[in-house]
Chain A
Amino acid sequence: MMLRKTALAAGVFAAALTGASAAYAQTEIQWWHAMGGRLGEILQGQVDQFNASQKDYKVVATNKGNYSETLNAGVAAFRAKQQPHLLQVYEVGTASMMAAKGAIKPVYEVMNEGGFPFDPKNYLSAVTGYYSTLDGKMLSFPYNSSTPVMYVNKDLFKKAGIDTMTLPKTWEQVGAALDKLKAAGVECPMTVSWQSWTQLENLSAYHNQPFATKSNGMEGMDAQLTFNGPVQVKHIANLGKWAKEGKFIYGGRRNEAAARFRSGECGMMFESSAGYAGVKKEAKFEFAISNLPYYADVEGAPFNTIIGGASVWVMQGHSKEAYKGVAQFLNFLAKPEMQAYWHQNTGYLPITPAAYELTKKEGFYDKNPGTDIAIIQMTGKAPTNNSKGLRLGSFDQIRTIIDEELEGVWSGEKTAKVALDNAVARGNELLRRFERANK
């Protein structure tokens, strides 16, 4: 009885919320996403604004858990022919989505049909490139993108007698800073989050080294992994040496390291630019954000870094009318005000130059120094074939393999060369399997 009353009350409440528009024949657009907590609230804010801005469509956003749970929900729903219109998929799922041609509808197509001709010039290619065909047609809509940056604990640097006006720019300078931090008794001179992404994938792009053949898989599914090249081996060997000397403290496969940095234990951290909000909120010390370091002896370095995060895919099998609404909604999300709102509140990157200019004009970067590092680092140079992004099948599993092999280096069981060779061989097996399954 109680239950029924509550249900009734909830129904009345929901009716009251949507009541005004009930008279119109609204088309519902389902969006399944993986944004929990504060990010979920900000996302819902965007959806509410869109729903209030027009009367023909109603976007219903549903959180389906974390990234892999959301992708699984989408896959299962597609198999049961109950798929949503929009599905948020993390960047490592990109190849799987692209290969599923009968399951997705490219975003540029949806936009063109919906009357919003898609012009790649209006987008930041460093961000959209990851999710576009080689000739620049956007396949999925980049929703939340970030790139790794270096965080520095200035208090610890001062304690170790390091000049905080010029932060380390190259890995050699990082090494020198680590020596001083260690000598000053700092327990955790340096730590790393998402090691495959920050120390291998981005290292490769930043130094114009191929992570895989075929432009890192962008040109075809028959790509072979190549991240066991000299620059990568040298870097992993350096990190391994620092781990042995107690200068690099490994925190875990995900962003466990971030908690350690925020508590003030670590001198330096390599982590997503989206980690900014957390550091700003919790850090009881002075910190700075800086570009990723590079190896000065690599020709042309540094190039640009690549993104991580997720994009929104449009699923096949819905009505023309619904796709019109989808186009309108995506167009709404790309508006400078929407992008600036998202960028400033979350630390994720804006996807249009207009949003970047707007944020600059509002003085956000002056008030929050370091928040523009990520975007400058990404757009500093035109992306090469090695720095557009990655498009490799089973990539989540390949990252796990990389994690496993790197852990062998940090614990001193394997040399960098052996670990990376292993990871390449094991990863290639998965790529061949993926290629076969997605013919």
Chain B
Amino acid sequence: MEKRVVFRHKLLPFVLVLPQLVITAVFFLWPASQALYQSLLIEDAFGLSREFVWFENFENLYNDPLYFASFRTTAVFSISVASLSLGMALVLAVMADRVIKGTNIYRTFLIWPYAVAPAIVGVLWLFMFNPSIGLIAFWLKQTGYNWNHVLNGDQAMVLIVFAAAWKQISYNFLFFLAGLQSIPKSLIEAAAIDGAGPSRRFWTIIFPLLSPTTFFLVVVNIVYAFFDTFGIIHATTHGGPGKATETLVYKVFSDGFVSLDLGGSAAQSVILMFIVISLTVVQFRYIERRVHY
């Protein structure tokens, strides 16, 4: 039977959650409602004339084939970033978990990239892959491969995926390592005695026991790829060439802050908000069931 603690005090619980409620109201509910309202308006930049147009901003987006292309770009980008950074981090964490000498040095080096600001990450990778002065672009050319992400959309996508994933590997690594260390050694040793090889031990014991961590990281990484990679794209490709690397968030920025089309940009933000809400619901309702805590 479940034990329930009952508070008799009526006011205290409200007072205790009040700070959190205020923060949610000020930093989420208020701006979100502003965005909702703004998305129904066509307005000039200075707010001197405004017209209430109901859902016309959304209709325009619906009729814009380029907006749907941006969805595809975002999906390709997010899935690539999440799988690459999770995969690499898991491999590195498993290896680092086995290291006996110099553990701290390895770990420090692996965690380091997380401290670098997104825009700097972008510039760093841009320097290495710059078609005219980049070192890696130069090596690629030596091997006969023509690297020119300024004109080749697929190469531009690869570049921002690498840059975005590289930065996130450290974060994922930390969580995977902590997860690995919390798996009881006795389980693994028992399996070893029973004759299970390293790969079988990994797939039948370690990986399932890591699933809560993996699930958490999948959610965090998708959200990261959706929203936090703006700085990297802005610093490296500006969404180009063509529209090859224009993700949804980047489009919100360029429409809202560069072209000052506030209504259209707000409509896109609202759509993004619903995407994230539904993604999170799906993840927690359906994928979480497969997670062993």
A interface residues (Cβ-Cβ under 8 A, vs B):
68, 71-72, 75, 78-79, 96, 99-103, 188, 250-253, 256, 259-260, 263, 265, 394, 396-397, 400, 403-405, 407-408, 410-411, 430, 433, 436-439
In the complex, per-residue mask of B44-85: 1 if CB is within 8 Å of any chain A CB, else 0: 111111010000000010000000000000000000000000
Q: Are B46 and A100 in contact (CB under 8 A)?
A: yes
Per DSSP, chain B at the interface is loop
Please name all residues of chain A whose beta carbon is closer than 8 Å to the beta carbon of B20 when the two chains form the complex.
Answer: none
Q: Which residues of A contact B46 (CB under 8 A)?
A: 75, 78-79, 100, 102-103
B132 at the interface (CB under 8 A from A): yes
A residues within 8 A CB of B243?
404
CB-CB < 8 A to B242: which residues of A?
Answer: 404-405, 407-408
Nearest chain B CB to A226's CB is how many angstroms away? 21
Contacts of B132 in A (CB 8 A): 188, 251, 259-260, 263, 265
Tell me if B271 is interfacial: C-beta within 8 Å of chain A. Answer: no
Q: Give me 22 A-to-B residue pairs in the complex whose CB atoms sit less than 8 angstroms apart, sorted by A's number.
A: A68-B257, A96-B45, A100-B48, A101-B48, A250-B151, A251-B132, A252-B150, A253-B238, A396-B258, A397-B259, A397-B261, A400-B258, A404-B240, A404-B241, A407-B241, A430-B259, A436-B42, A436-B51, A437-B49, A437-B261, A439-B49, A439-B51
CA distance A256 to B60 in the complex (A): 34
Q: How far is the CA of A437 from the CA of B53 in the complex (A)?
A: 11
- Given pairs A72-B260, A404-B241, A404-B242, 4 additional interface contacts (CB within 8 A): A79-B47, A102-B48, A404-B243, A407-B151
Residue numbers in B under 8 Å from A437 (CB-CB): 42-44, 49, 51, 261, 263
Is B260 a contact partner of A96 (Cβ separation < 8 A)?
A: yes
Which residues B219-261 have CB closer than 8 A to chain A? 238-243, 254-255, 257-261
| Closest B residue, CB atoms, query A75 | B45
Q: Select from chain B the residue with minimum beta-carbon distance to A410.
A: B151
- State whether the Cβ of B99 lies closer than 8 Å to any Cβ in chain A: no
Report B278 CB to chain A, min CB distance, Å.
29
Bound form: Cα–Cα A71–B256 in Å: 12
Q: Which 6 A-B pairs have the closest CB atoms?
A: A397-B259, A407-B241, A103-B46, A100-B46, A411-B151, A438-B44
A242 to chain B, nearest CB (A): 14
Q: Across the interface, which residues of B come within 8 angstroms of A72, CB to CB?
A: 257, 260
**Inside 8 A of B275's CB, which chain A residues have their CB?**
none
CB-CB contacts of B120-164 with A at 8 A, as 1s and 0s? 000000000000110000000000000000111000000000000
B258 and A411 contacting across the interface, CB-CB below 8 Å: no
Q: How many residues of B are in contact with the other chain, CB < 8 A?
A: 30
Residues of B within 8 A of A405 (CB): 242
For A250, list chain B residues within 8 Å (CB). Answer: 150-151
- Grouping DSSP codes into helix (H, G, I), strand (E, B) and loop, the A interface class, with mixed when no group exceeds half, is helix
- Whether A403 contacts B152 by the Cβ 8 Å rule is no
Q: How far is the CB of A36 from chain B (nearest CB, A)?
A: 15
Whether the pair A253, B240 counts as a contact (CB closer than 8 A) is yes
Q: What residues of chain B lie closer than 8 Å to A101, measured between beta carbons?
A: 48
On whether the beta carbons of A407 and B260 are closer than 8 Å, the reply is: no
> A407 to B237, alpha carbons, bound, how many Å?
13
- Knowing A259-B132, A260-B132, A396-B259, the reply to whether A99 touches B44 (Cβ < 8 A) is yes
CA distance A107 to B239 in the complex (A): 37
CB nearest to B45 among chain A residues: A75
C-alpha gap A261/B259 in the complex (Å): 31
Q: Tell me the bound Cα distance from A250 to B152 in angstroms.
A: 11
Contact between B238 and A68 (Cβ–Cβ < 8 Å)?
no
Contact B240 A438 (CB under 8 A): no
Chain B 254-282 residues near chain A, CB threshold 8 A:
254-255, 257-261, 263-264
Q: Contact check, B259 vs A394: say whether CB atoms are below 8 A apart.
A: yes
Specify which chain B residues have a CB less than 8 angstroms from the CB of A100 in the assembled complex.
44-46, 48
Please, which residues of chain B bring their CB within 8 A of the CB of A188? 132
**Residues from chain B with Cβ under 8 Å of A411 in the complex:** 151-152, 241
In whole angstroms, what is the CA distance A238 to B51 when docked?
Answer: 45
Cβ distance B12 to chain A, nearest Cβ, rounded Å: 38
Shortest Cβ gap from A22 to chain B (Å): 35
For A68, give its contact among B49, B258, B264 (CB under 8 Å).
B258
Give min CB distance, A2 to chain B, whole Å: 25
Output the least CB separation between B134 and chain A (Å): 12
**A residues in contact with B48, CB < 8 Å:** 100-103
Interface string of B30-51 (1 = CB under 8 A from A): 0000000000001111111101
